[in-house]
């Protein structure tokens, strides 16, 4: 493997010119840059990433903390965030916090020790105070950590209103919604607050079965169905996350409840699972690629010393299906 000096000698330029051409930092004439890249490829030159990071005082790594990688929403979000960071020259260090203690604190410690350059955090296992005095970039996804830390989230109030309007138009009067902890820290709570407000303003009755943010696993939804079986047979509408909607549809089929004739179901997230069921599930779609892109762009701007907005709100949309 050749050294950077050998590439420079072969190209007839200085080491600094080679470095600028390979890193994309600073001006290099296009013809010279093309020649350098061709020579580097021919000589099998690979830049010393560790040395490059030391010179820039960065690790080139961003930490991403989510509740549960197994949940398809978080899996899809991570996919787009990882790709986005990679396209900006950064690697990702990923963890989930459910079932593993101290993972979120570990990533904060990494940041303090400058083992990573920033954190995109979507978990709630620590109090917000743990982040407030950090000098390195922190981006909050779907978590309100105060005005000093930028927040990226969907327009959940809009989503709750869309869901309520769909069920009301379908004639629903007795409905259940799964979720809504009302802890003030999770923007997703706003969807349930707005859903309840719009439904009740139209004269419908809403029963809320609260679910903590960290209780969104498949088995938990199954247990909810079993625990509230009698209640579910007495309503004409259900609003829940997509995984819950899928379980509600399966429960209805098992118990001979016709969907959508006797029971309307509307989900929230817009996951692929909603298009795999029969019938397809009507759902409110979060624009995950856009949410991920804004999370990445916000982090990159902060690393460049730019001050981001306090909050980035992304609109949702309705995916029509056969359950409403």
In DSSP terms, which residues pair with 132 in a beta bridge?
A: none
Same domain, 232 and 134: no
pTM for this entry: 0.82
Same domain, 258 and 186: yes
Same domain, 37 and 70: no
pLDDT tens, residue by residue, 34-92: 898 888 888 887 766 555 554 557 788 999 999 888 889 999 999 999 999 999 989 99
Residue 54 lies in a domain: no
Same domain, 167 and 216: yes
Could you give the number of structural domains in the chain? Answer: 3
CATH number for position 251: 3.40.50.2300
Same domain, 263 and 310: no
Chain centroid, CA 320 distance in Å = 23
pLDDT tens, residue by residue, 227-242: 777 787 889 999 999 9
Task: Report how far residue 280's alpha carbon sits from residue 324's, in angstroms, rounded to the nearest whole number.
Answer: 10
Same domain, 264 and 254: yes
Q: For the chain, where are the E strands, in sequence order?
A: 61-66, 91-96, 118-121, 138-141, 151-154, 174-178, 205-209, 237-239, 264-269, 282-285, 311-314, 317-319
Pairing of the two strands 264-269 and 282-285: parallel
Same domain, 164 and 264: yes
- 99 by DSSP, 3-state: which? coil
Domain that holds residue 30: 4-47
Same domain, 99 and 12: no
Which of 104-108, 109-113, 223-227, 262-266 has the weakest average pLDDT?
A: 223-227
Chain centroid, CA 176 distance in Å = 26
Residue 203 lies in a domain: yes
Same domain, 245 and 182: yes
Same domain, 138 and 87: yes
């Amino acid at each position: 493997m050749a050294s950077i000096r050998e590439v420079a000698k072969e190209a007839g330029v200085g080491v600094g010119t080679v470095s600028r051409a390979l890193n994309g930092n600073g001006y290099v004439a296009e013809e010279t840059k093309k020649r350098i890249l061709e020579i580097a490829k021919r000589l099998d030159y690979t830049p010393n990433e560790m040395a490059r990071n030391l010179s820039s005082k960065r690790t080139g790594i961003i930490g991403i903390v989510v509740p549960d990688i197994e949940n398809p929403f978080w899996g899809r979000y991570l996919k787009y965030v990882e790709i986005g960071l990679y396209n900006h020259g950064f690697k990702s260090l990923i963890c989930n916090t459910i079932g593993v203690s101290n993972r979120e604190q570990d990533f904060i410690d990494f940041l303090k020790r400058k083992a990573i350059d920033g954190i995109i955090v979507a978990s709630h296992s620590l109090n917000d105070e743990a982040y407030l005095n950090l000098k390195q970039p922190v981006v909050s996804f779907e978590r309100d950590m105060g005005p000093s830390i930028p927040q990226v989230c969907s327009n959940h109030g809009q989503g709750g209103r869309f869901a309520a309007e769909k069920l009301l138009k379908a004639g629903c009067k007795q409905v259940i919604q799964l979720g809504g902890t009302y802890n003030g820290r999770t923007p997703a709570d706003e969807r349930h607050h707005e859903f309840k407000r719009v439904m009740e303003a139209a004269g419908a009755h809403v029963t809320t079965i609260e679910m903590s943010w960290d209780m969104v696993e498949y088995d938990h939804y199954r247990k909810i169905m079993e625990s509230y079986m009698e209640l579910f047979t007495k309503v004409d509408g259900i609003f829940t996350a997509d995984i819950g909607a899928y379980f509600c549809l399966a429960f209805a089929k098992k118990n001979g409840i016709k969907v959508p004739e006797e029971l309307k179901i509307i989900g929230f997230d817009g996951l692929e699972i909603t298009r795999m069921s029969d019938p397809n599930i009507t759902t409110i779609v979060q624009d995950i690629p856009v949410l991920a892109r804004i999370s990445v762009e916000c982090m990159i701007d902060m690393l460049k010393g730019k001050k981001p907005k306090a909050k980035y709100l992304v609109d949702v949309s309705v995916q029509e299906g056969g359950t409403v």
